Amino acid sequence: MSLHDLYAQYHERVKFLMIYIREAHPVDGWWFGEGLQGQIIKRVFPRAATDVYDPQTLEERRAVAGRCQESLQYGILTYVDEIDDPVNKAYAASPTRLYLVASDGRVVYAGGLGPYGFRPSELKEAIEALSI
């Protein structure tokens, strides 16, 4: 099950938010590069951008988030974390993570760190358990 599939199935009952946080592998940081690692990433995750510099302003971050939203085509509106990363810090979201927050504000599902802990099927089970 993909996040796109999950959104298609539950978007009328669950409000989905995608929040773009700090770039996980910027060219000017922990970069996968053009070598063997970069080639493997491009094969496994063909939509992953490997040419992104760490945005220094909110406008730059918004531009990168827009590219990400277009590339992934989840159909979910993308919000952008502030440049000082309050959402990323509050939810330990880096590099990627799924959460389900109940209407009363309780976190009822906190997925593992991506990419290996990014499991939309587990989020589906949590949605069904919450009986939304």
Whether 52 is in a domain gets the answer no
Whether 43 is in a domain gets the answer no
Whether 107 is in a domain gets the answer yes
Per-residue pLDDT, 37: 61
Whether 96 is in a domain gets the answer yes
pLDDT tens-digit profile, the chain (132 residues): 888 899 999 999 999 999 999 877 777 666 555 666 656 556 655 555 567 889 999 999 999 999 888 887 778 888 999 999 999 999 888 878 899 999 999 999 999 988 788 899 999 999 999 875
Per-residue pLDDT, 49: 59
Whether 36 is in a domain gets the answer no
How far apart, in whole angstroms, are the C-alpha atoms of residue 126 and residue 132? 10
Q: Kindly calculate the radius of gyration of the chain based on its CA atoms and give it in whole angstroms.
A: 15
Please state, in angstroms and as integers, the Cα–Cα distance from residue 65 to each residue in 13, 18, 43, 87, following that order. 25, 10, 22, 15
Whether 48 is in a domain gets the answer no
Per-residue pLDDT, 125: 96
Domains identified in the chain, total number: 1
Whether 64 is in a domain gets the answer yes
User: Which residue range is the domain that position 111 belongs to?
Assistant: 3-24+57-130
Per-residue pLDDT, 98: 94
Per-residue pLDDT, 123: 96
